[in-house]
Structure 1
């Protein structure tokens, strides 16, 4: 019997979108255990705290993992992706691609990651066409201008985003 295949899907997930969930659902078919790594990235000016993002990802992605019968964990990390991958015993890194611009960035990252550890493969999943334009950054921008975001994120996430945007306005 071979060792379980462990995959990681890293990101900031601020907030988690329907596109992220699509990649998670499809990535679950590739592994026996999926670790979703929620990264600290202060340069992205997060709307939600790291702890809030971890909880949000666990709440939204957990039922997908349960339905797929795949072991699942959400873990925060603040280190090189490859060090995180090694720490959790990952065999593959799952990345979603939306457009050519994503590919260029991911191509560079994959090259660097391969030099750090050539034993961990990166697998790219193309976003479902209906999710290709969704980006967390744009979801937040639409919400800040009172646009409707319910088709981009799960309903509980939409509520949390709208509430947080309203709170940030009140703090000004």
Structure 2
């Protein structure tokens, strides 16, 4: 039996390091990386976030991108990043990733990254985030953290990691090992099934 495909969904607050960690993890696993800003930025470039056309364009882009991702060569790991909260809208977005995993017969691993509010605020204003249309307002981040909780998607294996004091390389190494463990556990369960 061939190894299952692997899809890793990295969820975390804006500025916690999802993309940087995702890049490191992609190197370690030989994976493709699909950052959520791949979908968000075209819509942000054309329409304000409150404009219904922004939402409809993001939805259309996500649908098209995921339909094509479903056709990727088998055995190619895929890493997705997002900032999903525990509301119904974001849960529906995550369901699209479940559908993608089913279409690829892939193991879906949900990763939730967290870090302290203080470190999160520091990282939010670091680097070139503004140039990449990313959130840089610490007040907005504080409001999001106060109002929402990160989606800890039920169903797939869930890996939670506090990255407050972890360098991206160290975080990626931990995640790579945990994802390999999930795959090994899945292989063991498949062998035991009648």
TM over 0.5: no
TM-score by length of 1: 0.39
TM-score where L is the length of structure 2: 0.36
Name which structure has the greater RCO, CA cutoff 8 Å, separation 6+.
2
The structure in which a higher percent of residues are helix is 2
